[in-house]
Structure 1
């Protein structure tokens, strides 16, 4: 859940002690019941696929939480103490650590699922605000290539069939590939690539216009924003780019999951400039979005993170991992807005 304070109490007043932390709020009984029901529906799917529950700690060492530098330290909520500890901003890094240490001796692939809260900090107008979010997800450790990516997406689509989406939600699965995005960026000046990566992945036209690009580079970047949509058409346009391996990975994945997506009522869309917020993904990436009352709402995100596994197991050059997580609070609010009955 992305939590926010609906009104702020004056500093120094007695009312401050009766308010949640800035950015936080209480969950009412109906919200708690709905969250549990949604998680229960997801857990049924995970178990049907043979996944076992893992419960990583909420507090981890900061070097684990930083996920090999893929997570900005500014979002981490640090815990006071002698050791460098913090509250987890996501759960994948904790599962990867456990898979490479206490679970290292188990045969692969490991199929693990989890449920728990994650925490991030952000600055809003010079004030620190806490975001707390309930997540439910899976991690598939030791299944490289199409077999792993295909299983991951199949489970996500099966989960969608268990969820009571309204037709107006129009669930859409965005697919991309980090290597393809890198190949697209390689056509631009090196010093501009970081800014372009951020602007393109966020579909931020204003940020794109603010970059100091030549007229030709600016036009090329704008064209990249239009390379998204129906998989067949996008794959045809992408065939001209140099990252042929990534394009073929996406082509094979789309062929594998198209019928399952149709049965689940989920539209597929290829989006070569999509990247999740955390940058430890290094292969196929995905995001499930639905049409909310006023805007698109992302309700699940994931992808492949082989490099992160190898950070925790430096001697295993073949380590591989992929996974996704549902943002349960966002999903609940999306369904409640359409007055969908959760029971």
Structure 2
């Protein structure tokens, strides 16, 4: 290669975003809150591969859904010719795993997952080619109680995350025989208004007419609003199930509205369907959606098993958290170790390990071989780390076997520094951090063996 030839910079795939260290604390806050809420309802985590057989999604989601027709990342395995797909959603994968490993042999299961999904679509705010979802699947439950519990679990999560402007829309799409009766009348109605159907609606007219109800085309809204409503075709059993869901929600003061046009995008849904929507994200207003999917395990070759679940878009919810003022400033550590001189550096390593043994997060200043950096430059790094305390060991401290501890977040900046013996430094810092911390709040970490300052 010529010395003067410029090396082309490689950048990431469009719509597949890096999550940088500055963003990580907000992700961690969200994920920790999700895990806490789901655990409080008895849900257990399941992790499935991001690559599944293409047939899993074609069979489960439906051949004529948008996802299968034009959004999946599918490829042929060059080693054995298997047709594989990067998962566009994870309900199908979880159900496949539950069936393959006989997870419900000893009773129903509450499962949840968190991870990346992949769809080939135009990247825009809240819609990416690699995106992340948290989902919950309750497999083996047939009553309306589990439908309501899943919805209430979402409400608790919004409350714990401080999100207020999210509303619940609810509908029932009945069972297959009810949808077939409705489908015939729906097709007849749309054919009477064929001149108002756009190209996408005309394409779906005979393959998936229910999805036309979900159109966002302003020119079709009035006509679609007057279309036959699936709720009018429900039999007594489906009506009772839907009323059972509503009764529990009303009793627990969960507000909702009935949206007869709400259908969801996958073929496996039946009876209860729901979406949590917001007006704060433009056209990408759905932050969570789900419902009942009793037919899915049978579609995959298992015995009839009822199930219900939801999936929420992590990136969209993080946008709402930011809009609500959640910053969660990044912090690398509780203590930043500053040192000058060979002996001081050796003592800093010893002290750093002792502090970590006591459950503190510690960053030890490291630099180039030529220079470890001045005290001033090291203290600037310490302050930028978000640490509550800087521990300073210079040549004088090394000789006297002491350390200087400086509170970096203290309001009293004139009296924020103290010198203590080297062997008592750990106890001093643990007492300070576990007692009141830098902001005066008592430590509330769930792990009694790990002490964290709250920044």
| TM-score normalised by the chain length of structure 1 | 0.76
Q: In the alignment, which residue of structure 1 is the partner of 2:132?
A: 134
Q: Cα distance 1:335–1:320, how it changes in 2: closer, same or farther (>3 A)?
A: same
Match of 1:40 among 32, 36, 46: 32
Aligned residues: 295
Q: Structure 2 vs 1, CA of residues 311 and 244 (structure 1 numbering), >3 Å: closer, same or farther?
A: closer
Q: Deviations over 1:228-269 (max 9, x none)?
A: xxxxxxxxx96xx2314333322221111124344xxxx311
Match of 1:99 in 2: 98
Counterpart in 1 of 2:19? Answer: 27
Q: Find the aligned partners of 1:115 and 1:102 in 2 and give their Cα distance.
A: 20
Specify the alignment match of 1:174 in structure 2.
169
CA change 1:99–1:163 in 2 (3 A) is same
Matches of 1:41 and 1:100, distance apart in 2: 29
Aligned CA distance change for structure 1 residues 188 and 60 (closer, same or farther; 3 Å): closer
Shift of 1:302: 0.8
Are residues 261 and 73 of structure 1, via their aligned partners in 2, closer, same or farther at CA, if it must alter by over 3 Å? farther
Unaligned runs of 5+ in 1: 1-12, 210-217, 228-236
8 A Cα contact 2:163 2:324, kept in partner: no
1:339 aligns with 2:342: no
Structure 2 stretches lacking a partner, 5+ long: 1-5, 192-204, 330-455
Which residue of structure 2 lines up, in the alignment, with residue 242 of structure 1?
Answer: 233
CA contact (8 A) 1:108 1:143 kept: no
Give the Å deviation of 1:65: 2.8
Work out whether residues 26 and 327 of structure 2, in 8 Å CA contact, stay in contact via their aligned partners in 1. no
Q: TM-score, normalised by structure 2?
A: 0.58
Structure 1 SS opposite 2:23: helix
Residue 141 of structure 1 and its aligned partner are, at CA, apart by 0.4
Instruction: Quote the Cα distance in structure 2 between the aligned partners of 1:294 and 1:47.
Output: 32
Which residue does the alignment assign to 1:292?
280
Q: 1:202 deviation in Å?
A: 3.1
- Displacement after TM superposition at 1:178 (Å): 1.9
Residues 293, 337 of structure 1: 8 Å contact kept: no
Offset of residue 337 of structure 1: 2.7
Query: Which residue of the partner structure matches residue 294 of structure 2?
Result: 306
- Cross-structure match for 1:62: 54
Q: How far has the Cα of 1:325 moved from its partner?
A: 1.3
Larger Rg: 2
Contact (CA 8 Å) 1:67, 1:93: kept in 2 or not?
no
Q: In structure 1, what is the equivalent of residue 210 of structure 2? A: 197
Whole-angstrom CA distance in 1 between matches of 2:244 and 2:206: 28
Aligned-CA RMSD value: 2.9
Q: How far apart are 1:140 and its partner, in Å?
A: 0.3
Name the counterpart of 1:326. 312
**C-alpha separation in 2, matches of 1:96 and 1:195:** 24
Change (3 A) 1:67 1:84: same
Please give the secondary structure, in 1, of the residue aligned with 2:244.
Answer: helix
**1:152 Cα offset (Å):** 1.9
